[in-house]
Structure 1
Amino acid sequence: MPSETLSPALSRWSPLWAMLAGATAVLSFAPLTWWPVQIASLAVLLWLAVAQTAVRRSALVGWSFSFGWMVAGTHWLYTSLHDYGGLPGPMAIAAVLLLSAAMALYAGMAMAAGTWLRLRCALSPAATLLLVYPPLWAISEWLRNWVATGFPWIVSGYAHVSSPLAGYAPLVGVYGIGWLAALLAACAVLAFAGRRRLALALGAAVMVAGLALDQLAWTSPHGRPISVRLLQGNVPQEMKFNPDTANDTLALYHDMLTEARADLIATPETALPMMAHALPPDYLELLATFARQSKSNLLVGVPVSDGPGSYANSLLGLGMDGARNYRYDKHHLVPFGEFIPPGFRWFVDMMHIPLGDFTRGAVVQAPFSAAGQWVLPNICYEDLFGEEIADQIAASYFSGRPQPTMMLNVSNIAWFGDSIALPQHLQISQMRSLETRRPMLRATNTGATAIVDARGRVQAQLQPYTKDVLSGQVQGMSGYTPYILLGNVPVLTAAVLLLGAIWLRRREQKS
């Protein structure tokens, strides 16, 4: 079995092999999307972890795997910290490494807890691989989602937006898919350890069930398709908040907004690079006039001040009646970029990031009406938090509010340069569509501006780093998937119950 397959030399270097396997896992995410690579890399992690005889050693293996994964997958943070934030190069590198090291603690704890439970309960390697490590892996990724505001970038489930596991998304969400990916990895380990029949049967059952679930509709068309125009201004980040070029940016987006009508026209996040009250007096009125005369509905990204020291990262809606009748404020803020954690003012003061301490919006906010459809906005980083988006949709089920029929993400991730962050963020939006079975529209400054359908498929996309407009027809969807109504509760409950049952069974055997 796996615990007997490591030579002393291989065991000694197992943290290094784990780190290399973790770094390789980034190939499973966008832009390459080689999802089988992730199963293989997780299989290496589980093989190395189950072969350890010490809890601390398993923790080191798990931490090393996740550290390699996080550094390879989020190295682009250096660009925002150094190139645009003005942080000295060595400090920017240190910040990326420290963040990766901190995020890797969750995987380290998962592998340590699995080995501790195996030793404490005298579990076989096969039982540990199938019943212990996968639920612990899911819990560890969920913890990374919310502890200290969370940083759930490239969690394992995102690699499977186009794999057979995608069919599980409306049921168990991205963290449930992570559990299943770890289960498939466990099957791979067992297949190479002599338990081929069991491994192949279980792995095939998981994959076939995913393909079958993907055929279920879950939601149904709502109303008629609407026309959309998604603007990509491609304003260089170093110029975006430069006062000398602000008027050029305002003119750019005015022209793009009023170039043609559509049922819904959306700009990127903070497309207008000054407070709403500081805009030229007639700027928004001219847009409102266009909306009324062309029978269009506009969502415009602009920071809004509600008083001294209080400002929100907002979307203002201008409807067909020409009135300023809608506002959405970003709720889930980015640490350091949009709010300053206690004790870190010194770190933020070293950088040159504008508008660094926003006010949070309400947890649940109303959708925007557009030609019979109800558009649920989220701004940039917010679409990483699937349960929060699900809660916004579920609010209509429990309160009678209008039911969102499509989602809109507006972003400006020019902060990260021409990097893998752009396609990774698109992949995250695809998962939100899979979980909710609703289309996701994306209007971004530099990319990826795209239309994603209710099954998570990219229907149209602009070339990144070009000034352009994406036009298309989008069909809204209504209905509630299990994930919308229950979120991550079923996955977390199942994980706790399974691990608790293993622990209680061992105690009963000893008594």
Structure 2
Amino acid sequence: MALAGVVAVAGFAPFGFWPGQLLSMALFASLLLRPGQQAFSIRQSAVLAWVFSFVSLFTATSWLLVAMTRYGGMPIFLAVIALALLTSYLALFAALCAATLAWLRQRWQVNPTICAVLLFPALWLLNEWLRGYLFTGFPWAIIGYAHTASPLAGYAPVLGVLGLGWLVALCAGGLGLMIFTDSRRVRLLVLVAVIALFGGGQYLTTITWTQPLGQPLTINLIQGNVEQDKKFDQDHLNDSLHLYHDLILQSKADLVVTPETALPMLSSQLPPDYLPAINAFAQKNQSAVVLGVAVHDGGSRYANSVLGFSPSYEQQAYRYDKHHLVPFGEFIPFGFRWFVDLMHIPLGDFTKGNAIQAPMQVRDQFVLPNICYEDLFGDEIAAQLASQNSSGKDVASLLLNVSNMAWYGDSIAIPQHLQFSMMRVLETGRPMLRATNTGATAVIDVGARLVTQLPYLQQGILQATVQGRQGVTPYIRWGNAIVMLLALCSLILAAYLTHRSARSCQRES
């Protein structure tokens, strides 16, 4: 099971071997669904699922060790223990899923087919949903992300990443059923159903959910490549200020973007003429500049923000404040001040932005920012677009992610985060611009097509032309409601079929 957990990670970037993930999930499902006397107990099922999920999550998030050791100064053994504790907790959701499945099998006397195609996918969806929401959530590497380039990607504009995970679990349950069933008819039906699901996804990729809006924008995305151990060092603060000032002023584009907290100090600590100079540049060149900075609102209140300067915002800069904050890195959970102090995390207690914020107008396009970790929460981005659409206000035509991945070095965190942004493009039918400190600075067009990107860990300016899009996908309109309803119907149908089968047996006896 541990090996299957490792193989499951191969589905994510930079490896991209999604069939391996599907097969590992099928093996996992087949063990949970073993019939008769071979079936695992509730406790054994929970342990099995915990091991599978723990190994998968520990492998997928191993990049956290870089932040804890190289930049946090933690001894490696303490860092490993900390990561193991985190992933142990996250794996409990999968254990709960498996334990519930085993309990229902015993209590309802459910046949293996119903377990495989109705209960297992619905409970796996519940596992991933809980992991992504409880205690602010940590939905990193949920299984749907592995399918940005598989035929199942066609379902993303309808069901979102959680829905893709439900479909993967449905296929895995069916394939797991094939392993232990003796019925050739069941095996044939499963095979046909899996092929049909993938074929349906491939067909959905041909549907155009959104349409071009206005004129394309020329963009410059700045990758400063400032080392994390120097970024907040007092001896290097002015270096960052000069670096981004010079890179912005040499940019010629409709939209110029810097990474998250490109300016490594509070806005109130900047030289008095710094932001006015950026604004003057934007007015002179009829350009828009988006600047990552921690905006100080007085006292101990400061937000992880982007400020926008353009002819449309000459008197008052556009502002977006990060809404979904990272525990420990951006807000301090009760009782954990010691951990933040141990890790030497600067600016570790931001105030939270509003869940719904307006996009920034850039010529005839509207750009909706999100900051770093926020683009893991596709339902929140979709909710912003849905709110804009229903209110009749300007609806974002481009998505923009600004990030600082320097904490994690040259690790798999960078390509994984890029892949998660691709999922947001599939869900919303809008291009995504990514401006990062060390990578991946990139442009992703509709269909999750990677148009261009800068090499990792190199300073540079990415130049491109991007066409905004208008319209709403089903996922924007309904979010996770569709797949949650499908899962609920699966549970109700499983209960109904099991109850009917039991009554039939009673009548025959």
Q: TM-score, normalised by structure 1?
A: 0.95
Which residue identity is paired with 2:332? I
Query: Alpha-carbon deviations, 1:437-479, whole Å to 9, x = none?
Result: 1000000000000000021111101000000111100000001
The answer on whether the counterparts of 2:30 and 2:177 sit within 8 Å (CA) in structure 1 is no
Equivalent in the alignment of 2:378: 386
Equivalent in the alignment of 1:6: none
Deviation at 1:506, TM superposition (A): 3.4
Equivalent in the alignment of 2:356: 364
Deviation at 1:98, TM superposition (A): 0.5
Aligned with residue 475 of structure 1, among 457, 467, 472: 467
Map 1:219-258 to 2 at 5 A.
219-258=210-249
Deviates most, 53-62 or 499-508: 499-508
Equivalent in the alignment of 1:303: 294
Which residue identity is paired with 1:221? P
Which residue identity is paired with 1:415? W
Matched residue SS, 1:350:
helix
Is residue 275 from structure 1 mapped to residue 266 from structure 2 by the alignment? yes
Cα separation, 2, equivalents of 1:333 and 1:375: 21
Aligned with residue 485 of structure 2, among 470, 485, 493: 493
Matched residue SS, 2:438:
coil
The answer on whether the counterparts of 1:233 and 1:253 sit within 8 Å (CA) in structure 2 is yes
Deviation at 1:387, TM superposition (A): 0.4
Deviation at 1:504, TM superposition (A): 4.2
Flag the 1:126–1:509 CA change in 2: closer, same or farther, 3 A.
Answer: closer
Equivalent in the alignment of 2:25: 42
Aligned with residue 159 of structure 2, among 168, 172, 178: 172
Deviation at 1:190, TM superposition (A): 3.1
Equivalent in the alignment of 1:376: 368
Matched residue SS, 1:152:
coil
The answer on whether the counterparts of 1:288 and 1:324 sit within 8 Å (CA) in structure 2 is no
Map 1:56-205 to 2 at 5 A.
56-193=43-180, 194=182, 195-205=186-196
Matched residue SS, 1:92:
helix
Deviates most, 488-497 or 263-272: 488-497
Equivalent in the alignment of 2:507: none
Cα separation, 2, equivalents of 1:142 and 1:460: 32
Equivalent in the alignment of 1:261: 252
Cα separation, 1, equivalents of 2:494 and 2:172: 21
Equivalent in the alignment of 1:209: 200
Aligned with residue 326 of structure 2, among 334, 356, 363: 334
Deviation at 1:188, TM superposition (A): 2.2
Which residue identity is paired with 1:259? Q
The answer on whether the counterparts of 2:434 and 2:440 sit within 8 Å (CA) in structure 1 is yes
Is residue 292 from structure 1 mapped to residue 275 from structure 2 by the alignment? no
Deviation at 1:508, TM superposition (A): 5.4
Equivalent in the alignment of 2:13: 30
Cα separation, 1, equivalents of 2:72 and 2:364: 42
Gaps of 5+ in 1: 1-17
Cα separation, 2, equivalents of 1:399 and 1:249: 40
Aligned with residue 460 of structure 1, among 452, 457, 460: 452
The answer on whether the counterparts of 1:227 and 1:262 sit within 8 Å (CA) in structure 2 is yes
Matched residue SS, 1:250:
helix
Query: Alpha-carbon deviations, 1:129-177, whole Å to 9, x = none?
Result: 1111111111111111100100000100000000000000000000110
The answer on whether the counterparts of 2:401 and 2:432 sit within 8 Å (CA) in structure 1 is yes
What is the number of residues matched between the two proteins? 494
Cα separation, 2, equivalents of 1:414 and 1:107: 31
Cα separation, 2, equivalents of 1:155 and 1:509: 35
The answer on whether the counterparts of 2:221 and 2:441 sit within 8 Å (CA) in structure 1 is yes
Cα separation, 2, equivalents of 1:205 and 1:508: 28
Which residue identity is paired with 2:440? A
The answer on whether the counterparts of 1:288 and 1:323 sit within 8 Å (CA) in structure 2 is no
Flag the 1:331–1:76 CA change in 2: closer, same or farther, 3 A.
Answer: same
Query: Sequence identity of aligned pairs in percent?
Result: 49
Which residue identity is paired with 1:359? T
Which residue identity is paired with 1:139? L
Cα separation, 1, equivalents of 2:337 and 2:493: 46
Equivalent in the alignment of 1:4: none
Cα separation, 2, equivalents of 1:63 and 1:462: 38
The answer on whether the counterparts of 1:316 and 1:324 sit within 8 Å (CA) in structure 2 is no
Which residue identity is paired with 2:14? P
Query: Alpha-carbon deviations, 1:47-105, whole Å to 9, x = none?
Result: 11112331111111111110010011001111112211222322211110001101101
Q: TM-score, normalised by structure 2?
A: 0.95
Deviation at 1:260, TM superposition (A): 2.3
Equivalent in the alignment of 2:506: none
Flag the 1:392–1:54 CA change in 2: closer, same or farther, 3 A.
Answer: same
Cα separation, 2, equivalents of 1:105 and 1:367: 38
Map 1:310-349 to 2 at 5 A.
310-320=301-311, 322-349=314-341
Cα separation, 1, equivalents of 2:20 and 2:40: 27
The answer on whether the counterparts of 1:167 and 1:214 sit within 8 Å (CA) in structure 2 is yes
Which residue identity is paired with 2:19? P
Which residue identity is paired with 1:480? V
Is residue 404 from structure 1 mapped to residue 396 from structure 2 by the alignment? yes
Which residue identity is paired with 2:8? A
Equivalent in the alignment of 1:21: 4
Cα separation, 1, equivalents of 2:492 and 2:135: 26
Cα separation, 1, equivalents of 2:103 and 2:446: 42
